[in-house]
Structure 1
Amino acid sequence: MPKNIREVLNTVPPFSLLPEAVLGSLEKDIAEKTYPKGSYVFRQGEEGLNTLFLIIRGSAEVVAKNDMDDEAVLGFRGVEEFFGETGLNGGQYSAGVRAKEDLTCLLIPGLEVEKLMGRHSDFTGYLAEVLVERMRSLYDEIIHEQSFDAYSKVEVPLFRKRISDIMSTPVITCGIADTVVEVAGIMEKKNISAVMVVNDQNSPIGVISNADLVNKILARSVTGFLKLTAGELMNKKVVTIPSEAFYAEAVLAISKHRTKQLAVIRRGRLAGIVTVADLVKARSTGTLTLVHDIESQQDIEGLSSIGVEVDSLLNALVAEKAPVPEILMIISEFHERLTRKVIQLCEEEMVSRGFGGPPVEYCWANMGSAGRQEQTSRTDQDNMIIFRDEDSIGNDKIREYFLKLAILVNEGLDRCGFAKCPGNVMASNLQWCRSLGEWEQTARQWIESAKDPVLLRQLTILLDFRAVYGEKRLADTLWKKIVKLYCQSAAVSHYLAQDDLSARVPVNIWGGFSTEKSGPHKDEINLKTAASVHIVNCLRIFSLKSGIADTNTFIRLSELRKRGGMKNDEADFVEAAYETLMMFRIRENLKKVKRGDKADNYINPSLLGKQEREILKGAFTGVSRLQKLTGSTYTLLWLAK
């Protein structure tokens, strides 16, 4: 082992990442202390010592008592590892540390650590990675220890099952040069309804179904069909999925691409096939029948009961411990499919009432949590319409039609459990039903006048819109215009940052939770408005400034990583924090719905277990760091004048 403090600092990261001059100065403030085997460095619940402990000899146990006052070992720390980070900012220790054997540590003052984090990015990045890893470890432990029987009865964690465990193999295939007669013979002999077409490398390049044989040969009276080859007849749209993917990913792919089978790939080659039937057989609740149920409904009344089935799917996903991003994407896909069916039925209703079909191309878009594909429960509607400019008809005349349609759709969605927006941010409101040209002018006005709090609020809502039905090209064109206007503006990012930073995460100066002091939610915290919204707001600012038009928070974060808009260590910390917050929100809301209460995103920290409080504090720390980063990047003093 190194003989002195300086040698330790030179060899142990993150201190080894610091310049020699900095280490020389830091060395003077560090003390060394030995703790006998079995003794506590500090105990759970004690006030933080504002000290970072770096082990140079021996090892330690991280211990905590559960709600039954039983002490358990949560982890171990060995030579060249540090602990005590939760006590750097004051507050009480959420877990204790005990010497597993004679333990010698370097005691580094928290004030010095804080200075180093403010001046040396490599040092900060390393610490952040360690903290993220520990937070994720706690998160995983909580997830796997939770009993979700209170929400749903599920026999196995199916959504964590690999596709390789479900797929059918070997796959019946044909070659690209095989004739139609040969393909039909294969299907008849094997008693199958579709055959996969592969190339010489056994990679799937197409699929031929019974429907293809009927529609492309018999229905069209193709002459000389005996000479047709599989390559000429096949449907080239093959949806693939890797063999290591999870069941949840297959459910999403089947629903999103509206296909009946997935080609399973391993190292670029066809390894198996998964059909809708395979997925339904694998799970007793028949989740995938939802797709058929939605598409087969002929009226709003029939659709209204399906929303409850989607809620049951959410229960199952949580019970089966599906990752938060997958839960959000799957539930959003079904909600969007439900929305599309409502719009289709309302278009038919417009025709039956004598108003005819849409006079021009249009796009229906969601905003808010639905626009970000982060809607779990059926929350209030936030939607808009973009329609094509047509001088020969006139925008006012066109708008008259779409406002009538929007009233029907908003009513239909309300009957399906998506309540009307109290603020009237809906396509049936003139303000949210505009032509593409009008929307471009409006976006320019809102961006250039972002100093106005009312317009800033409207802009914030708009900046999460996502096309769900109709001509997506209209939405894409509007997004390109918005991103261009946004990047040209010198002030809009700063106004948006200023607006978010007007509120901070609910943590007091002692490191404890700052809850509501009175009213119906006394001693509670709203995880949406007090915490997760800050991540949404800040990442929206960073993403738009980087030219990213995606709206989902996880995707925005991923794109920022790729484009260098945010350092990996910062992005990892934020991602872990957001996933944690969403996990708590989903879980607590499900509990309330089961009790017959409203899902309101409130949580009482005092009712959480000790580990849960620790991970929630870690998530709040991630939010606070993101806000500080946003503030240092996007706030200018002259804007306040």
Structure 2
Amino acid sequence: MNTIAEHIADFLKKYPPFDNLSFQELSEIATSIRVINLEKHKLLFHINDILHDSFYVVASGVINLTVIADAEETLINKCVEGDVFGLRPFFAKNNYMMTAKAREESIIYAIPIATFRTFVTHNSNVLEYLLESFASNSSNPNEIENLHGKLVSDNIYYSDQKSEMQYFQSLSYNTTPLKITTSSIVQEVAQLMTNTITNSAIVCQNDLPIGIVTHTDMSTKIATGRYSISTTIDKIMTSPVVTIMENVSLAEAQLLMLKYNVTHLCVTNDGTDKSTVKGIISEHDLIVAQASNPGVLIKEIKRSKSAEDLKSIRKRLTELIQKSLHKNIPLSHINNIASEINLAIIKRSVELAILDLGSPPVRFVWLSIGSQGRKEQLLSTDQDSILIFEDVTPDKYRDVKDYFIKLAKRTTVSLENVGYELCPNGHIASNMLWCKSLTDWTKQYSNWINTPGENSNEISSIFFDLEIAFGEHKLEEAIQNVIFNNVKNNVLFFDFLGNDALRKNSPLTFFKNFNVEELGVNKDKFDIKTRALMPLIDAARLFSLSYSVKGVNNTYLRFKQLSIVDPRNSEIYLNCAEAFLTLSKFRTLEGLKNDSSGQFINLHELSKADKEHLKNAFAPMRELEELIKTKFKLTQFS
């Protein structure tokens, strides 16, 4: 046997399942192994790639395994020396369900399945080990006692198909949609739709989607005689079309259809209408795939008549979150579903208040701020909100404001009855300070940004995390413009916000122990919100405002976006994104266990491996702190 094969056999012998094989068997396997050198960020296989004829072992370096969630790449696992992955070809015929990418320069051993299969069939220990791994949902590298040589499942969505978790799996859709142009004639399109037995056609310009025509358009606009059959399609199309990235789950697709009140979603290359069309998802696709899923909750919310109805739905959402976590569904994915349901509950509460009070005198917008504004509210934490109404003449101002204060009070009381506690700092729309006209809000934001700390000891940073729950989008856009126009090159503002971000206490003491509470009811517990999550939340907001990252409020997604806009520091941002998910999961599990906000972690209840896992999540914070100091030229606390 040659020395390279001998070296490989020696290496494999140290790790399961190879430690169940004799050295002679390993030597035979080693002679057929292919050694792959992967450069940093190089792909080994991609989601939906055709299966390879080998599975893989990490000889050195780190391989990241990711899935698509929230139309984002989400890290599921890190494979280090001795870890086995890419087993799908052993047990399944369909394509890869994950992407494997080198996090750093790595050496991988590719073991041909044809060669290895013989040893599997003759060794029950090896077979059981592989089967157990493939069928497991383990996406936490620390769950297997944090040992090297773990076998990583690439079957993250494996399930018995009985629970609603199947609705987090990718949805099948029509990959050959009917494409037409704006100048197409209605009669010809109707004929094409009949011939191809389809109920929709995507209107494209340079292969980019600009609109959609459905069977409903034909029956309501053509069959009724409103338009002639000889008219061009641009007269009856719906524009813009709602676009989405592929690998969307049934749950997400249904939520989007309900949110935008559409029956079709256009699948594009990057999920926007600025890239080529890949397919179409219809309501029929959902009906075929559907049984019971989070979309049902949205429908029930829309039909709710009282806070009591909404409360029972919120309780079911908590159960859904708990099941999702136990199934190891990616946290970013759970967040997306939960936030849509939370926003729907807020929206319905506003609607019920309007039904009680009568129509509003002018247009307005209800904005969630804080954790709801960042779409990070998995647990029933407190409610934070502001209300902006259109400008009115001075003589009408008082009456208009009175109406909206009444509306806000009814809504916040209703939400309190649902289970969202009132903000202890009074950051709610029913507070006179946080319910006012667009002009007043413009002045408020301008003052906060241009004279930070002058009228108060702090800027309430949560006011910069906004998510529309109900009302006029243009009012929300106007406030976003005020924010981004004022923060541009504003040294004083970033100095204030930067120092505020740095002022948070460290999660660990000088001796690397947890910085726990010293007094009160939470004595000896770890405040994961203040000491670990808030520094990441504050930093993500700070950098996003600095780089004018618009339309992204979620901390995890902010870090992902920052890794693109500031590629030199992408590694730091991506590590922070990963750390944020880890810490959020710890907090959520604590909250679900104790029916609390999960802010204070009882360290005595954590295993040694969990404590290490928690400490490891603090690692990127030091680099992030240095990045803040460098970027904003901060040398000391102000």
TM-score clears 0.5:
yes
List per-residue Cα deviations over 1:131-155 (Å, max 9, x = no partner): 9xxxxx984564989xx9xxx9964
TM-score normalised by L of structure 2? 0.68
Give the C-alpha shift of residue 371 in structure 1: 1.0
**Secondary structure in structure 1 of the residue aligned to 2:491:** coil
1:323–1:433 CA distance, 2 compared to 1 (3 A):
same
2:370 counterpart residue number: 368
Q: Pick closer, same or farther for the CA change 1:141–1:282 going to 2, 3 Å.
A: farther
Residue number in structure 1 paired with 2:532: 531
CA distance change for structure 1 residues 546 and 175 in 2, over 3 Å: closer, same or farther?
A: closer
Tell me, in whole angstroms, the C-alpha distance in 1 between the residues paired with 2:513 and 2:296.
46
Q: How does 1:128-527 map to 2 (within 5 A)?
A: 139=140, 142=143, 155=163, 158=166, 161-163=169-171, 166-167=172-173, 194-197=199-202, 206-217=211-222, 221-222=225-226, 225-228=228-231, 230=233, 232-247=235-250, 249-265=252-268, 272-279=279-286, 282=289, 284-351=291-358, 357-391=359-393, 393-451=395-453, 455-487=456-488, 489-527=490-528
Report the alpha carbon displacement of residue 426 of structure 1 after superposing the two structures with TM.
0.9
* Worse-matched range after superposition: 623-632 or 419-428: 623-632
Q: 1:373 to 1:266 in 2, by over 3 A?
A: closer
Q: Distance in 1 between matches of 2:247 and 2:607?
A: 34
8 Å CA contact 1:239–1:262 kept in 2: the answer is yes
Letter in 1 for 2:575: F
Q: Go from structure 1 to structure 2 and tell me whether the alpha carbon gap of 1:129 and 1:572 turns closer, same or farther (over 3 Å shift).
A: farther
Distance 2:553 2:282 in 1: 30
SS at match of 2:386: strand
In 2, Cα distance between the equivalents of 1:428 and 1:583?
32
The letter for the 1-side match of 2:400 is I
* Shift in CA distance, 476/274, structure 1 to aligned 2, threshold 3 Å: closer
The letter for the 1-side match of 2:504 is A
Sort the Cα spacing of 1:98 and 1:142 in 2 relative to 1 into closer, same or farther, 3 A.
Answer: closer
Distance 2:177 2:57 in 1: 48
1:275 is displaced (CA, Å) by 3.5
Give CA deviations for 1:224-256 in whole Å, capped at 9, x if unaligned: x34345554333443343444445553553344
One-letter amino acid of the structure 2 residue matched with residue 434 of structure 1? K
Q: Which has more radius of gyration?
A: 1
The AA in structure 1 aligned to 2:412 is N
Partners of 2:403 and 2:81 lie apart in 1 by: 72
Looking at structure 1, the residues matched to 447 and 237 of structure 2 have their Cα atoms a distance apart, in angstroms, of 50
- Using the TM superposition, name which of 438-447 and 243-252 deviates more: 243-252
Deviation of 1:271 (Å)? 5.7
* 1:543–1:182 Cα change, 3 Å: closer
* Cα gap change, 1:617 to 1:346, in 2 (>3 Å): same
Aligned residue for 2:616? 618
Distance in 1 separating the partners of 2:449 and 2:268? 46
CA distance 1:537–1:485, change in 2 (3 Å): same
Does residue 547 of structure 2 align to residue 540 of structure 1? Answer: no
Q: Tell me which residue corresponds to 2:625.
A: 627
The answer as to whether partners of 1:465 and 1:551 remain within 8 angstroms in 2 is yes
Whole-angstrom distance in 2 between the partners of 1:332 and 1:498: 30
Contact 2:339–2:375, Cα closer than 8 Å, also in 1: yes
Contact 1:560/1:566 (CA < 8 Å) preserved in 2? no
CA contact (8 A) 1:483 1:544 kept: yes
Question: Are the structure 2 counterparts of residues 157 and 610 from structure 1 closer, same or farther at C-alpha, using a change threshold of 3 Å?
Answer: farther
Task: Supply the distance in 2 between the matched residues of 1:489 and 1:202 (Cα, whole angstroms).
Answer: 41
Question: Match of 1:234, as an amino acid?
Answer: M
User: Which SS does the other structure have where 1:567 is aligned?
Assistant: helix
TM-score by length of 1: 0.67
Unpaired stretches in structure 1, ≥5 consecutive residues: 1-36, 39-74, 82-96, 100-127, 132-136, 352-356
- Amino acid of the structure 1 residue aligned with 2:217: D
The change in CA–CA distance for 1:139 and 1:566 in structure 2 (over 3 A counts) is farther
Question: Which residue is equivalent to 1:608?
Answer: 606
Name the CA distance, whole Å, in 2 between partners of 1:412 and 1:488.
42
SS at match of 1:562: helix
- Which residue does the alignment assign to 1:564? 566
Q: Could you tell which deviates more after superposition, 483-492 or 379-388?
A: 483-492
CA contact (8 A) 2:251 2:295 kept: no
Q: Is the 8 A contact 2:373 2:466 kept in 1?
A: yes
The CA deviation at 1:468 is 2.5
Q: 2 CA distance for matches of 1:183 and 1:80?
A: 55
What is the distance in 2 between the residues matched to 1:401 and 1:98?
Answer: 64
SS in 1 for 2:456: helix
Q: Give the C-alpha shift of residue 365 in structure 1.
A: 0.9
Deviations 1:251-304 (A, max 9, x none): 553344332233445797766543345446545433222232222334444333
Letter of the 2:620 counterpart: G
SS in 1 for 2:294: coil
Letter in 2 for 1:526: D
Identity between Structure 1 and Structure 2 (%): 26
In 1: Cα distance, 2:428 partner to 2:605 partner: 37
**Higher relative contact order structure (alpha carbons within 8 Å, sequence separation ≥ 6):** 1
Residue 535 of structure 1 deviates from its aligned partner by 0.7
1:114-170 per-residue CA deviation (whole Å, 9 max, x = no partner) reads xxxxxxxxxxxxxx9699xxxxx984564989xx9xxx996485355333xx33576
Looking at structure 1, the residues matched to 207 and 463 of structure 2 have their Cα atoms a distance apart, in angstroms, of 46
Cα distance, 1:490–1:618 mapped onto 2, change above 3 Å:
same
- Look up the SS of the partner of 2:381 in the other structure: coil
Deviations along 1:530-587, one digit per CA (max 9) or x if unpaired, are 2101111122222222333442223332343333387112212211211211122223
Query: Does the Cα contact within 8 Å between 1:280 and 1:287 map onto a contact in 2?
Result: no
2-structure distance, mates of 1:414, 1:428: 12
SS at match of 1:227: coil
8 Å contact kept, 2:365–2:472:
yes
Aligned residues: 505
User: d(CA) in 2 for partners of 1:636 and 1:271?
Assistant: 47
Supply the AA of the counterpart residue of 1:534: P
Distance 1:80 1:208 in 2: 51
Contact 2:563 2:574 in 1 (8 A): no
Q: CA deviation at 1:428?
A: 1.0
Q: 1:636–1:76: structure 2 CA closer, same or farther, 3 Å change rule?
A: same
AA matched with 1:238: V
2:161, 2:174 → 1: CA distance?
27
Q: What is the rounded CA distance, in whole Å, between the counterparts of 1:328 and 1:520 in structure 2?
A: 30
C-alpha RMSD of matched pairs (Å): 4.3
Go from structure 1 to structure 2 and tell me whether the alpha carbon gap of 1:521 and 1:279 turns closer, same or farther (over 3 Å shift): farther
* Deviation sequence 1:195-236 (CA, Å, 0-9, x none): 3346699986644444323432355x426x343455543334
